[in-house]
């Protein structure tokens, strides 16, 4: 079903989101801030890029969210010899029927883990582009719609890591945000070992907190979160400023502004509000914009991080103190 089965208020979205995060937190130790960003990307209807060194819990995070959200889950390991048909599916000859039939690929799911996506050449990476943007797959002239919800959680090794292919800018732009976990603290790492010994097996299962229909209702409820005109203009100013920064060759596209808007709405709900404040935008600015920025070549030699550029943009762009009634809203002011 593609329709939303029931209506949910923004306040209930926040409660359900905290329950999902608590469930995932029973398996993924620490990293609450990173987990909130991943869930924010899903609730905002987008795709998330988890970029970090191997062994830091990226795959476990994707599987845990699929279980907690009650979603159909598939994992696709990207390798140098992976073909586009291995992602989307292909037509195979059926000897019994004497005709070709379509065998769906792993992309036909609710939550796809694209593991180590930058270990495969660009041709195969691009096989995901149509699915990520249009929620459909075209194979030999035939188009197949993907069931909703559909989200891609892609893991990637740092580009300096041996055997990686940089993701094309067009595909990076399709990811709503990029998240890094980093190494755990000493006590967190010990907690990982303690929990492994306690459950006496490798796998860790999570009971579903919501289902696919409830997730769609949560996503629809975010449309009721108010964004004042001043906040919207602040978002546009931040994105535009990345294009004018002296260290930047190519700044964030308008899709970056949209990502800020959608993620700020989720942060507002996490904060128990049905309206966005400037702090919501600031908290998601680096994850939403840094991967959309292409630095000048000399900046790479100086090891300048795009997230540092976003930080400078935040400092240089005045935030609104309070905003006017949204111009898109019907009726009078909200109280």
pLDDT of res. 333: 44
Residue 16 shares a structural domain with residue 93: yes
Residue 196 shares a structural domain with residue 232: no
HSE value, Cβ hemisphere, 13 Å, CA-based, for 233: 13
Listing DSSP states for 166-233 in one string gives PPPHHHHTTSSEEE---PPPHHHHHHHHHHHHHHTSS------SS-HHHHHHHHHHGGGSB--HHHHH
Rounded CA gap, 279 and 214, in Å? Answer: 28
Cα angle 164, 165, 170 (rounded to 5 degrees) comes to 140
pLDDT tens for the chain, residues 1 to 335: 444 456 888 889 999 999 999 999 989 888 889 999 999 999 999 999 998 877 778 888 999 999 999 999 999 999 889 988 999 998 888 878 888 888 888 999 999 999 988 888 888 887 888 889 889 988 888 889 999 999 999 988 776 566 677 777 778 888 999 999 888 888 888 888 888 888 877 777 889 999 999 999 999 999 999 999 999 999 999 999 999 999 999 999 999 999 999 999 999 999 999 999 999 999 999 999 999 998 888 876 777 889 999 999 999 999 998 655 676 654 444 44
Residue 157 shares a structural domain with residue 273: no
Q: Say if 214 falls within a structural domain.
A: no
Residue 263 shares a structural domain with residue 194: no
Q: What CATH code is carried by the domain that includes residue 298?
A: 1.10.8.80
By the 10 Å C-beta count (0-12 exposed, 13-18 middle, 19+ buried), 74 is classed as: middle
pLDDT of res. 101: 84
By the 8 A CB rule, do 107 and 148 touch? no
By the 8 A CB rule, do 86 and 125 touch? no
Range(s) of the domain holding residue 251: 224-316
Residue 163 shares a structural domain with residue 247: no
Single pTM value for the model: 0.88
Q: Say if 216 falls within a structural domain.
A: no
Residue 236 shares a structural domain with residue 96: no
Q: Say if 212 falls within a structural domain.
A: no
pLDDT of res. 328: 65
Q: Say if 205 falls within a structural domain.
A: no
Rounded CA gap, 84 and 164, in Å? Answer: 17
Q: Say if 294 falls within a structural domain.
A: yes
Q: Say if 328 falls within a structural domain.
A: no
Residue 191 shares a structural domain with residue 268: no
Backbone angles phi, psi at 308, to 5 degrees: -65, -35
Neighbours of 77 (CB within 10 A): 15
pLDDT of res. 5: 58
Residue 166 shares a structural domain with residue 274: no
Residue 242 shares a structural domain with residue 196: no
Residue 42 shares a structural domain with residue 117: yes
Domain count along the chain: 2
Residue 17 shares a structural domain with residue 156: yes
Q: Say if 189 falls within a structural domain.
A: yes
Q: What CATH code is carried by the domain that includes residue 17?
A: 3.40.50.300
The last residue of a domain, from among 155, 185, 200: 200
Rounded CA gap, 305 and 143, in Å? Answer: 40
Listing DSSP states for 111-173 in one string gives EEEEETGGGS-HHHHGGGHHHHHHSEEEETTEEEEPPSS-EEEEEE--TTSTT--PPPHHHHT
Q: Say if 5 falls within a structural domain.
A: no
pLDDT of res. 202: 76
Longest dimension (CA), the chain: 69
Residue 48 shares a structural domain with residue 103: yes
């Amino acid at each position: 079903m593609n329709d939303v089965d029931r209506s949910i208020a923004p306040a209930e979205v926040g409660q359900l989101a905290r329950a999902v995060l608590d469930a995932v937190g029973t398996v993924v130790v620490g990293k609450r801030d990173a987990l909130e960003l991943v869930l924010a990307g899903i609730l905002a209807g987008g795709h998330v890029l988890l970029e970090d060194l191997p062994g830091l819990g990226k795959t476990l995070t994707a599987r845990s969210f699929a279980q907690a959200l009650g979603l159909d889950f598939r994992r696709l390991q990207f390798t140098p010899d992976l073909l586009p048909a291995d992602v989307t599916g292909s037509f195979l000859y059926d000897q019994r029927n004497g005709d070709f039939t379509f065998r769906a690929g792993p992309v036909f799911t609710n939550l796809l883990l694209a593991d180590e996506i930058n270990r495969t050449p660009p041709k195969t990476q691009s096989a995901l582009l149509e699915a990520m943007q249009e929620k459909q797959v075209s194979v030999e002239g035939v188009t197949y719609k993907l069931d909703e919800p559909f989200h891609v959680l892609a893991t990637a090794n740092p580009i300096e890591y041996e055997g990686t292919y940089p993701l094309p800018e067009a595909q990076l732009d399709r990811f709503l945000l990029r998240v890094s976990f980093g190494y755990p603290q000493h006590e967190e790492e010990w907690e990982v070992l303690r929990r492994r010994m306690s459950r006496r097996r490798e796998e860790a299962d999570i009971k579903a907190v919501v289902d696919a229909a409830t997730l769609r209702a949560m996503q629809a409820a975010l449309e009721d979160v108010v964004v004042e005109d001043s906040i919207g203009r602040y978002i546009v100013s931040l994105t535009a400023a990345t294009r004018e920064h002296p260290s930047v060759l190519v700044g964030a596209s308008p899709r970056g502004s949209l990502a800020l808007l959608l993620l700020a709405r989720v942060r507002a709900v996490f904060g128990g509000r049905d309206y966005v404040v400037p702090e919501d935008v600031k908290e998601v600015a680096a994850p939403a914009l840094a991967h959309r920025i292409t630095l000048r070549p000399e900046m790479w030699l100086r090891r300048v991080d795009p997230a540092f550029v976003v930080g400078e943009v935040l400092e240089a762009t005045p935030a609104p103190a309070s905003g006017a009634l949204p111009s898109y809203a019907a009726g009078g002011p909200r109280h």
